[in-house]
Structure 1
Amino acid sequence: MDRIPSAVVAASGLVGGYAVARWTRQRPLGGVVLAAAGATAARQWHRSAGGPAAGALGAAYVAAFAGSHPLAKKVGAWPAVFGVAGAMALASWAVADRRG
């Protein structure tokens, strides 16, 4: 079975974390989803692109999560989440996935 690209894992973590938090009304549960996907993507980033790249992508993942909050005040929650997830997927693909 082919592994799931880290771009998909990272984007799914951002979207899935928000969806779980919103629909269950349990923010910590959404955080678990966000963190689990982030950790999975980080392992993939490290394997395929090395430590410095994994660190940079990890920082981008956290920044995407944090940045979605003020962005949501301007464009709405779902557009903000999909926007940062798309940006994170693109960064992940460019740095780690396209090499594989």
Structure 2
Amino acid sequence: MKKLILSAVILLGTMSIHANVLPVSEDAKTTVVIQSEYTEVAVDAVPAAVKTALQAAYPGAKLDKAFVNDKKEYKLEISVGDQKATVYSDVNGNWLKI
């Protein structure tokens, strides 16, 4: 019985030697680069197809700001009542999911 207890103590002692905790570095930094590929345009410069699609999808929506990118995709900041939203459309008035 003494041999069994002694071997159990030796086994548990050797297992605890390998249970070292590795240090965790607190120096991790996250860098976020925000690049806006959209440039602001006048609300009057938005094509009629986009305005028509906007009124069809969101009746009573007011177009606050409009932005366009190189692909002629429009980022529209709209307000409906007291709610504000940003929607995306192509030049033909088709809605984009971004």
Q: Pick the TM interval, shorter chain.
A: under 0.3
Q: Provide the TM-score with structure 2 as the length reference.
A: 0.23
Greater Rg, structure 1 or structure 2?
2
Q: Provide the TM-score with structure 1 as the length reference.
A: 0.23
Higher strand share goes to which structure? 2
Higher helix share goes to which structure? 1
